[in-house]
Amino acid sequence: MRYRLRVPDSALPRLPDAGIDAVIGWFARSARSLPWREDDATPWGILVSEIMLQQTPVVRVLPRWRQWMAQWPTPADLAEAPTAEVLRAWDRLGYPRRALRLQECARAIVREHAGRVPGTQEELRALPGIGEYTAAAVAAFAFGRRAAVADTNIRRVLVRTIAGEQRPAPSYTARERAMTQATLPDETERSVLWNQAVMELGALVCTARSPQCGLCPVRAHCAWDRAGRPEAPADAPRRTQRFEGTDRQMRGRIMAALRSADQVPVPLLLALDPEDPARVRRCLGTLLADGLAMRDGDLVHLPR
DNA sequence: AAGTCGGGGCG
DNA sequence: CGCCCAGACTT
């Protein structure tokens, strides 16, 4: 892929500067006010918000984030908290392993970075629960650095405006990386504004289901709109009922039971699905393996 | 590259 | 009832 480096910048697929200006201007007028975007937000608060927002909508994160930051305002606070309390505070945000990793992340920050969130993508990427997207987002939004941020919103906007397609591929492809890199403004301050602005555009206007193209600041530059907004070919239909999905549901039910009591007898958990106690056992086994539950004889409880 | 991992709301 | 949501991690 080294040959790509010889391609002149002007040939790379990118949104024109006029489009970038339009999106940034729209953001200045239309951005939601979110607490982790306020001036008083700390890098740790921004990091916490990014973890909570992984696969979880903003409206559901808001109340949890406020409570969380009031209870554990610094990495050191979360590092010292009882894990059971952490999991209860996570409540029903989903994917509770994120809560476990967030506490591990806090402990790593205390241990390896003297309690302060590191600012480079490389250091961030090395922390538990922080992947490519979150490392770039924290570097950009918490530290004002130039980073190629590519969440589901940004990917959708770029694929539509530049490639003229309705939705991005399931995985973040090399072609999409090229679009993200080529469009990212060279100047640092402008790159940070662009990342925030295009993400917000994807969340509010260029949405997955019913995009509000009539309100879109880059409609004039949008290849998808120009092409008549063609629909992507439908995915292959689900072969059977999603049976694995029910395992996730059962894990959620077990976690809910554990959050509601100090300890729960195994027979009580098995009663969660009288039709299929083997499934409950299997799910309990994966929760124990994940460190989300502990077993003490016949009693199950959250990790203390 | 594909599977797994929650939970809720919307079309 | 299927899809979507500021993804990460394992295999």
Q: Check which CATH number belongs to the domain holding A294 and give it.
A: 1.10.10
- A239 falls within a domain: no
Q: Would you say residue A7 has pLDDT above 90?
A: no
A235 touches strand C (CB under 7 A): yes
Q: Is A208 found in the same domain as A251?
A: no
Of A179, A127, A140, A122, residue with least CA distance to A156: A179
Q: Is A173 found in the same domain as A76?
A: no
Strand B contacting residues by CB (7 Å): A 55-57, 60, 92-97, 170-171, 209-210, 244, 247-249, 251-253, 255-256, 286
Q: Is A123 found in the same domain as A213?
A: no
Strand B nucleotides in reach of protein CB atoms, 7 A cut-off: 1-8, 11
Q: Name the β-bridge partners of A265.
A: A299
pLDDT confidence of residue A233: 81
Q: Is A139 found in the same domain as A55?
A: yes
Q: Is A186 found in the same domain as A251?
A: no
Torsion of CA A267, A272, A274, A275, to 10 degrees: -140
- Per-residue pLDDT tens over the stretch A181-233: 999 999 999 999 999 999 999 999 999 999 999 999 999 999 999 999 999 88
In window 102-141 of A, residues with CB < 7 A from nucleic chain C are 128-135, 137
Residue A176 is a catalytic residue: no
**Tokens representing residue A24 in the block:** 């940034």
Shortest CA to C1' contact from A154: nucleotide:
C6
Of A61, A74, A69, residue with least CA distance to A34: A61
- A207 falls within a domain: yes
- A158 falls within a domain: yes
Q: Is A136 found in the same domain as A47?
A: yes
**Tokens representing residue A117 in the block:** 């969130």
- Per-residue pLDDT tens over the stretch A125-159: 999 999 999 999 999 999 999 999 999 999 999 99
Q: Is A93 found in the same domain as A116?
A: yes
Residue range(s) defining the domain that contains residue A208: 2-30+148-226
- Per-residue pLDDT tens over the stretch A64-106: 999 999 999 999 999 999 999 999 999 999 999 999 999 999 9
Separation of A226 CA and C7 C1' (Å) = 31
Residue at minimum CA to C1' distance from nucleotide B5: A95
Q: For all residues of chain A together, what is the average pLDDT?
A: 94
pLDDT confidence of residue A107: 98
In Å, how far are A5, A29, A62, A272, A284 from A262, measured between CA atoms? 59, 49, 27, 18, 16
Burial pattern A256-286, b for ≥16 Cβ within 10 A else e, equals: ebbbeeeebebeebbebbeeeeebbeebbee
Query: DSSP label at A234?
Result: P
Domain holding A47: CATH number?
A: 1.10.340.30
Of A150, A140, A153, residue with least CA distance to A32: A153
Total count of domains within chain A: 3
CB-CB contact of A55 with A94 (8 Å)? yes
Query: Among A226, A255, A272, which residue terminates a domain?
Result: A226
